[in-house]
Every structure is written in C-alpha cells, then in structure tokens.
Structure 1
Amino acid sequence: MHKIVLFFAISLTIIIGWGSLITIGDTVPSNIKVSDKLIHSSAYFLLTLCWLIALNKNYKYLNINTYIIFLIFFYGIIIEVLQKTVTANRQFEIKDILANLLGIAIGFTVFKVFQQKKLLK
C-alpha cells in the first residue's frame, strides 16, 4: 500500500510542477468556472496527504511529518518563483501560496485524524 501511495506522491509532485509551469492558452473551456485557489488547495491537500501516508511507516523515530510539510510548502514557493522568472504567461501570487498552505494544513489535519482513528496501518 505504501509503495502505491509513494508512486502517487511522486507522480503528483511532478504533475503539479509540470502543470504549474506549462504555457496555458485557451485549453480550458470558458464555460467551466473553477476557482484557481480551490485548485491550488486541492492539489496541495492531495500532495501532502500522499507524502504523509507514503512515508508514515518508513521513519517512525524521525519526525518526518514536519519535514514533509516544510518541503511541500517550499516546493509551492519555488513553483511560484519559477512562474515569475521562467514562464511568459504565469505570475507569482501570494494568494496561491496561501491557498497551497491551506491545502497543506487540511491534508495534515486529515492525516492526523486518520492516524488517531487507526485508519492508517
């Protein structure tokens, strides 16, 4: 189970990075209204949850959860900086970082609830 979740965590990390840095044009139909911040929060919620579950058993004696949260948070900041510096049609937004942080916080909270209820083995 953990290997599958690790695969999803790695894949999601790559997909988020790729999706955040590609040039987007009119690829999203205009009749679909989805909040950009909701997408950020959802992506970082899933990313956090996957990494926490994937590494839950491997590092019992090291508080890896703190490292995971900080690394994912800084990953989001690096993506925002890269959007400003290496892309032509993307921009740095503090609100995106805050949305990422909200997703991370919710992901960590859900993970802790699962852990307390012994739903993670």
Structure 2
Amino acid sequence: MKFLTKNLLAPKFLLFLAIVYTLLITIGSFISPSALPKVGYSVSDKLIHLVAYFVFVLIWFIWMYYHFKKKKFRIVLFATSCIAIIYGIIIEILQDSLTKTREGDFLDILANVAGVLIAIIILVVLRPKLFALKNRN
C-alpha cells in the first residue's frame, strides 16, 4: 500500500493527471453536445458539472499541496478553489462567445461552485490525514 500511495502522490504523475483532466474538461466544454457519447440513462448536466469541478479541485489541490511543501493547507485550498471557480466562469463565458452549439449558463457556474464547495468540505475533513502524508514523504 505504501508503494501505491507513494507512486500515486509522485509530483510528475499528479501534475500530468491534473493537466490531462483540465484538458478533458476544456475539450468537453467546447465540443458539440451531440458529439458526446450517449449513456443509457439520463444524467443532469448540472450533476456532471458538480462532479467535474469536485474532481478538478481534488486533483489540483493534491498536486499543489504536495508540490509546494512549505505552503499552508488553507492557502493551497483557497488558491485551488479560486482557480477552479475562475476557470469555470471563463469556460462558460467562452462557450457563449466562441461556440454555436454551446451557451454559457449561470446555473452551470453554480453547479461548478457547488462541486468546489463539496471538495473543500471533504479536504478539510481529511486535513489531518493529508498533513500526515505530506510530512511522511
């Protein structure tokens, strides 16, 4: 288990994962909805936004928290959360102005923020474990 944790927390792997995930969100935000794969059941696009930004914050937070070892938990959490919210707002504005098949939606922004807030709550609850991992590596 220690080997797995150490490899999953490797800075290069986490950065790669964060960048790829961000690119996937960006691409998914600009391609036509008809080009997206269909699933056999209905999923609210607001739920997709919530989950996407929840994961976005988790991945970027973990990378930043372990990469910038001298930065405090709350500073990294604040920075990561602000970046995610600003990124989501920019994506919505660009969807409205750059595409014909997508439009910016204030409710999408609210769903993004909800995902960020849930990530914040979970990370605060997990803070002691994250701190222990950070100091062990």
Q: TM-score of the superposition, structure 1-length normalised?
A: 0.88
Amino acid aligned to 2:117 = A
The corresponding residue for 1:14 is 23
Give the stretch that moved more between structures: 92-101 or 54-63.
54-63
Identity of aligned residues (%): 36
Q: Which has the larger radius of gyration?
A: 2
Q: Relative to structure 1, is the Cα distance of residues 30 and 71 closer, same or farther in structure 2, using a 3 angstrom cutoff?
A: closer
The corresponding residue for 1:40 is 49
Q: Structure 1 stretches of 5 or more lacking a match?
A: none
Q: Is the 8 A contact 2:15 2:63 kept in 1?
A: yes
The corresponding residue for 2:108 is 96
CA distance in 2, matches of 1:38, 1:92: 16
Q: Structure 2 stretches of 5 or more lacking a match?
A: 1-8
Higher relative contact order (CA 8 A, sep 6+): 1
Q: Is the 8 A contact 2:14 2:63 kept in 1?
A: yes
Q: 1:61 aligns with which of 68, 71, 76?
A: 71
Q: CA deviation at 1:31?
A: 4.3
CA distance in 1, matches of 2:40, 2:67: 45
Q: Relative to structure 1, is the Cα distance of residues 2 and 101 closer, same or farther in structure 2, using a 3 angstrom cutoff?
A: farther
Over 6 Å off, 4+ runs: none
The corresponding residue for 1:113 is 125
Root mean square deviation, CA, Å: 1.9
Q: CA deviation at 1:108?
A: 1.6
Q: CA deviation at 1:103?
A: 0.5
Q: Is the 8 A contact 2:61 2:77 kept in 1?
A: yes
CA distance in 2, matches of 1:86, 1:108: 31
The corresponding residue for 1:49 is 58
CA distance in 2, matches of 1:16, 1:34: 17
Q: TM-score of the superposition, structure 2-length normalised?
A: 0.79
> Which deviations, in whole Å up to 9, do the C-alpha atoms of 1:36-71 show, x marking residues without a partner?
011000000000000111111232336232121111
The answer as to 2:38 corresponding to 1:25 is: no
Aligned length: 121
The answer as to 2:86 corresponding to 1:74 is: yes
